[in-house]
A and B are shown apart, each in its own frame.
Chain A
């Protein structure tokens, strides 16, 4: 069935939800797990041996092991960033996490080859169906390694490489190494160091010069095991004039203990390239989601992050763009929804490093119940640049009397030839609006959902249609029971 995201004015019924093409990013649908026998298990806790084990299982080149061991040192040396971030980080027990779990099989190119339980998992999440419908390629990661990875022939023939990063390290070591860790150095922060020590899986994409991939490439991340830490590593390179859209989704079952997801994502947009990176994060609300994402935009290149955070217990994620070439453009569109027991600590970083670069940040957050949403931003325009512009807008919507929102931007501008503008507002849902809709016969809950959807509508329309429909439905789900 077809759905239009913008003209749909009533909350969908349960029937609609079941029929939705991308129920894969619905956390409720993801709340199940299978008992797995893992052929490779690095055990609990993190030592040098854990890392040697991971590296040997993956049959890695010596430089990678060295890279990992060095990262472990940096991870240990770095303090938790609790002098500015939430103390909730102290509740992560690094000794109780399992850092690597895999069945030791190569990713399959067809769904038929994927082991039954894993296949069932992704079928329940609707991934194969999405692939048929509108994707140029899919990679599906199950715990530490990809279970399925395929790119449509047409795209492969254009020279596009789309692999999981473990494979790519083996098959394209030179290309990988040239860009790997260059955008986000190991020691960027404690969690980028952790990822650099134990990374596994994630996507590697290379789009050759001038190739414009017309359909999105998608990765799907699934956590199945309890006490597990997922540390995927994604590296995307768009060569000169290339264009692509990448989307990622995620789910995990709701275990009684907390789970850690800590990814590093590096994007490189060479001259005139365009990368659009879309995330709909809907982890179960006991997942610590601590992700470092950054891109480098060369001359006249454009990087756009569309980052939508609905799940997790604590998310800390500030997608960034280093505007390295003249006339590069960076954009972050951020939507966050924090419900009871959740803290969405999200934002953006824009580092201007060349003349006439422009950046734009639009962040909207919704806090429901005792949920807390936080915006953090960095905008940096150093000395002697000319004609740089940043525009930042942050709007927070508070639903209940005890909801919380914070805004912490940091803006540095040098010189008189640039301009920055930052605006933020906090408001609640308009009582007039709710009353108006109730007078037309909607329940308060329905009216609230509509109103919240209206608040994010201008951003949601920038998503591919399938995702914006899904986002709307997720918001409806979250708004259930928020009134009264």
Chain B
């Protein structure tokens, strides 16, 4: 095999992801198509040669780089059946896949009627054999422009298995498809992937849940590729609840074709340091994307979110709203960019970042950017960082509500603006419950009765 990291290379460039680990991984997927293995080898070379992020990299501005070490992570062992203690998210669904340590451990197929109409809800390993051309065209086929090329290359190199969803022309899925990605065991490295191809006029809702099966230190480096064809409607929601020791990367690539509408909501609760990159391309007139983010940061957690909305065609619209609530000594970074290409007239784009400061030791960074090269557009952004509005708090208190209760109402009100954009009531409730659970684990937002 061709992979060789030169001995002079400092170990930290590779960390635990050594050529030996990669070779072992390749041996495990040797039965997959050659083009895919070639791509993985090239990706590993790229991973090995690219430097770790530096302080002067604009794409990593404000990020804590000392926490990004790759040392010590391992290819985890398979999780024995029945050892997972899986709890579903509590939403009626069309189908379910459960992955643990990169391998499928449980599944619930879609109804036969849907399968007969051509709906595919399976694993990437299966799809590589049965839908090779589709996978080749869409799996990890987009650039990684937001600073993490090293880590997306690592994802490609070590991606073992993930979810493959294909919704044929005109088919509407009645309920969400749910996918669970678990990490288990000390130092486990997982590479979750969800690939969704929604063909012309179809509609689907996909739920990704990222979870740790224990409180160990994990490394998660995942990606989701969303492709919405002509007039397709796609909703993608993700709930990240990795263990508090996990280093997490999650990359999103969305493509919206003519008149397609893609809504994505990422809920970030877990991890020690979590980087999320979301890249949305509006490729044809009428395309619309809505990118939503909700983060509750506590302890010393750091959440780093980088987004890119590229308007490549006229008459497209995008709407981004990322809200962060910060407790304790937590830190958030939001860096967003709206790009309007020269011919993308009549673009309507919005980007909003709201940080709710619930602690005197928290730090919120905002980098809301615009690059506009067409004049007939409506592009705005807004960023605010502030504590609970004292006038709103006073108003609630004049109704007899105690300060701590008023602050809790207002904090949840802050999230509700995002959650209420989810059409599915059960999903809305499930996500609110996840946030509530995190708040119960953390101290009250404001316990300063005076």
**Co-complex (A, B):** yes
Q: Looking at the complex, which of B274-282, B375-383, B398-406, B426-434 is the stretch in contact with chain A?
A: B375-383
Contact call A416/B357, Cβ cutoff below 8 A: yes
Decide if B363 touches A412 in the complex (CB within 8 Å).
yes
> Is B361 a contact partner of A415 (Cβ separation < 8 A)?
yes
List residues of chain A with CB within 8 A of the CB of B377. Answer: 398, 426-428
Interface footprint category on B:
35 or more
Does B381 lie within 8 Å of A424, measured CB to CB? yes
For the complex, is A170 an interface residue (Cβ under 8 Å from B)?
no
> Across the interface, do B368 and A407 meet the contact criterion of CB distance under 8 Å?
yes
Chain A's closest residue to B326 (CB) is A416
| Beta-carbon contact of B375 and A399 below 8 Å | yes
Beta-carbon contact of B58 and A412 below 8 Å: no
Q: Which residues of A contact B84 (CB under 8 A)?
A: none
Cβ contacts under 8 Å, B367 to chain A: 408-411
A422 CB-CB contact with B under 8 Å: yes
Inter-chain contact B368/A409, CB cutoff 8 Å = yes
- State the Cβ distance, B190 to closest chain A Cβ, in Å: 32
Considering only CB atoms, which chain A residue lies closest to B334 in the complex?
A411
B142 interface residue per 8 A CB criterion: no
In the complex, whether B373 has a CB less than 8 A from a CB of chain A is yes
User: Cβ of A413 < 8 Å from any Cβ of B?
Assistant: yes
Contact B370 A415 (CB under 8 A): no
Verify if A402 is at the interface (C-beta below 8 Å from B).
yes
Chain B residues near A402 (CB-CB < 8 A) = 342, 373-375
Interface residues of A (CB under 8 A from B): 83-84, 383-384, 396, 398-428
Known: A83-B56, A427-B378. A415 touches B360 (CB 8 A): yes
With CB as the reference atom, state the residue of chain A lying closest to B378.
Answer: A427
Asked whether any CB of chain A lies closer than 8 Å to the CB of B216, the reply is no
Report chain A residues within 8 Å CB of B360: 383-384, 414-417
Residue on A nearest B356 in the bound complex, by CB: A416
Q: How far is the CB of B318 from chain A (nearest CB, A)?
A: 14
In the complex, 8 of the A-B residue pairs with CB atoms within 8 angstroms, ordered by the A residue number, are: A396-B370, A404-B372, A411-B383, A415-B357, A416-B362, A420-B385, A422-B383, A426-B379
Q: Does B249 contact A (CB under 8 A)?
A: no
Q: Is the Cβ of A420 less than 8 Å from the Cβ of B380?
A: no
Given the complex of chains A and B, what is the CA–CA distance between A416 and B411 in angstroms?
Answer: 13
Q: How far is the CB of B273 from chain A (nearest CB, A)?
A: 18
Q: Distance in Å from the Cβ of B18 to the closest Cβ of chain A?
A: 31
CA distance A422 to B384 in the complex (A): 6
Taking the closest CB of chain A, its distance from the CB of B66, in whole angstroms, is 18
A59 and B58 CA atoms in complex are apart in Å by 43
Known contacts A417-B387, A419-B385, A420-B384; A408 and B373 CB within 8 A of each other: no
> Shortest beta-carbon distance, B64 to chain A, in Å?
13
Contact A411 B371 (CB under 8 A): no
Decide: A403 near B375, CB < 8 A? Known: A415-B360, A420-B384: yes
Best-buried of B61, B360, B378 by chain A (most CB within 10 Å): B360
Closest CB in chain B relative to A44 CB, distance in Å:
32
Which residues on the B side are within 8 Å of A410 (C-beta)?
61-62, 365-367
B144 on the A face (CB < 8 A): no
Query: B335 — nearest CB in chain A belongs to which residue?
Result: A410
Contacts beyond the supplied A398-B375, A423-B381: 4 A-B pairs with Cβ under 8 Å: A399-B375, A411-B366, A414-B361, A424-B381
Do the beta carbons of A407 and B365 come within 8 Å of each other?
no
Give A412's nearest chain B residue, CB to CB: B365
A424 in contact with B382 (CB, 8 Å): yes
Q: Are A413 and B370 in contact (CB under 8 A)?
A: no
Task: Tell whether, in the assembled complex, residue A406 and residue B363 are in contact, meaning their CB atoms are under 8 Å apart.
Answer: no
- For B358, the chain A residues whose CB sits under 8 A away are 416
Q: A426-B377, A427-B378 are in contact. Are A409 and B345 (CB under 8 A)?
A: no
Select from chain A the residue with minimum beta-carbon distance to B389: A419
> Which residues of chain B in 99-155 are interfacial with respect to chain A, using CB atoms and an 8 Å cutoff?
none
**B369 CB–A CB distance under 8 Å:** yes
Q: Which 5 A-B pairs have the closest CB atoms?
A: A398-B375, A419-B386, A416-B357, A413-B385, A416-B387
CB distance A408 to B361 under 8 Å? Answer: no
Q: Which residues of A contact B58 (CB under 8 A)?
A: 83-84
Minimum CB–CB distance for B137 against chain A, Å: 33
- Give per-residue flags for B385-424: 1 if the beta carbon is below 8 A from chain A beta carbons, else 0: 1110000000000000000000000000000000000000
User: Does B359 touch A at the CB level, under 8 Å?
Assistant: yes
Q: Is B252 an interface residue (CB 8 A)?
A: no
Residues of chain B with a CB closer than 8 A to A407's CB: 368-370, 381
Q: Complex: how many Å from CA A422 to CA B381?
A: 8
Chain A residue with Cβ nearest B368 = A409
- Given A407-B368, A408-B369, A423-B363 contact (CB < 8 Å): no
The minimal Cβ–Cβ distance linking A344 to chain B, given in whole angstroms, is 14
Nearest-Cβ distance from residue B407 to partner chain A, whole angstroms: 11
* Complex alpha-carbon distance, A403 and B372, angstroms: 8
Question: Inside 8 A of B382's CB, which chain A residues have their CB?
Answer: 421-424
